[in-house]
Structure 1
Amino acid sequence: MTRIRPLTVAAVAALALPLAACASQPVATPELPEQDVAHWVMPLDEFWAPTIDALPNYTENLLVAECMGEEGIDWPIPWQPTDDASYLPPTANMSGMQVLTPEVAREYGYRAPANTGRSDPEGAETMTKLNAIAASTPGFEPLFGACLDEAREQVPSLRLNDWRNRLAGWYYESMEAAMRAPEVEQTGAAWQQCLQDRGYPVDLAAPLTLDEWMPSEELLAKTGVPARWQPGDGGPENPLSQAEVDLAVADAECRASSGWMDAFYQAMWDAQVELVAQHADELVRARDDWITQRDAMLALVAEHAPAH
Structure 2
Amino acid sequence: MPRNSDVTRNRRPRPGIAVAVLGLTGGLLTVLGGCSPGPGTDLAAPAGPSASAGHAAWPDSIPRTGLTKGMVLPLEAYMETYPESVAIERAVQRLETQCMARYGFTYRPTPPGAFPPPNNDDSNMARRYGIADPAHAAKYGYTIGDENDVPDSGPRLSTAEISVLTGRVALRPNAAKAPSTYQGKSIPADGCQGESVTRVGAAVDTGLPGRLDYESLTKSQADPRVQKVVGAWSDCMKSKGYTVDSPLNAADLAPHSSGEAGSAEITVATADVNCKQKTGLVKVWFSVESAIQRRQVEQNHLALQDVRDRITAAVKASAAVTG
Aligned length: 238
Distance of 1:289 and 1:207 partners within structure 2: 36
Q: 1:128 maps to what in 2?
A: 154
Q: For residue 209 of structure 2, give the secondary structure of its aligned residue in structure 1.
A: helix
Distance of 2:232 and 2:281 partners within structure 1: 8
How far the C-alpha of 1:8 sits from its partner, in A, is 4.5
Identify which of 172, 180, 200 aligns with 1:155: 200
Q: 1:207 maps to what in 2?
A: 247
Distance of 1:238 and 1:281 partners within structure 2: 46
Q: Deviations over 1:261-303 (max 9, x none)?
A: 221111111111111111222222332332222111112123x
Identify which of 69, 90, 103 aligns with 1:38: 69
8 Å CA contact retained: 1:184, 1:263: yes
Q: For residue 260 of structure 2, give the secondary structure of its aligned residue in structure 1.
A: coil
Q: For residue 291 of structure 2, give the secondary structure of its aligned residue in structure 1.
A: helix
8 Å CA contact retained: 1:62, 1:301: yes
Q: 2:3 maps to what in 1?
A: none
The structure richer in strand per residue is 2
Q: For residue 154 of structure 1, give the secondary structure of its aligned residue in structure 2.
A: helix
Distance of 1:137 and 1:203 partners within structure 2: 51
Q: 1:262 maps to what in 2?
A: 283
In structure 2, the CA distance between the partners of 1:111 and 1:93, relative to structure 1 (3 Å rule), is farther
Structure 1 runs not aligned, ≥5 long: 1-6, 16-32, 230-236, 303-308
Distance of 2:94 and 2:293 partners within structure 1: 36
Q: How does 1:98-177 map to 2 (within 5 A)?
A: 98=127, 99-112=131-144, 119=148, 123-124=151-152, 127-129=153-155, 131-132=156-157, 134-135=158-159, 141=169, 142=178, 143=182, 145-159=190-204, 162-163=205-206, 165-177=207-219
Q: 2:41 maps to what in 1?
A: none
Supply the AA of the counterpart residue of 1:111: T
Misfit runs of 4+, over 6 Å: none
In structure 2, the CA distance between the partners of 1:137 and 1:95, relative to structure 1 (3 Å rule), is closer
Q: Deviations over 1:36-80 (max 9, x none)?
A: 942431111222222444443332232121111122111123443
Q: 1:22 maps to what in 2?
A: none
Q: 2:92 maps to what in 1?
A: 60
8 Å CA contact retained: 2:141, 2:265: yes
Q: 1:26 maps to what in 2?
A: none
Q: 1:197 maps to what in 2?
A: 239
Structure 2 runs not aligned, ≥5 long: 1-14, 26-61, 170-177
Q: What's the C-alpha RMSD, in Å, of the aligned pairs?
A: 3.2
Q: 1:282 maps to what in 2?
A: 303
Q: Deviations over 1:154-177 (max 9, x none)?
A: 032321xx11x2111111111111
Distance of 2:194 and 2:251 partners within structure 1: 45
Distance of 1:102 and 1:155 partners within structure 2: 42
Identity %: 21
Counterpart check, 1:75 vs 2:101 = no
Q: Deviations over 1:165-211 (max 9, x none)?
A: 211111111111111110111111111111111122x131x213xxx
Q: For residue 275 of structure 1, give the secondary structure of its aligned residue in structure 2.
A: helix
State the TM-score, normalized to the length of structure 1: 0.66
Identify which of 243, 262, 282 aligns with 1:241: 262
8 Å CA contact retained: 1:8, 1:53: yes
Distance of 1:267 and 1:120 partners within structure 2: 34
Q: Deviations over 1:212-233 (max 9, x none)?
A: x2223xx33xxxx23xx6xxxx
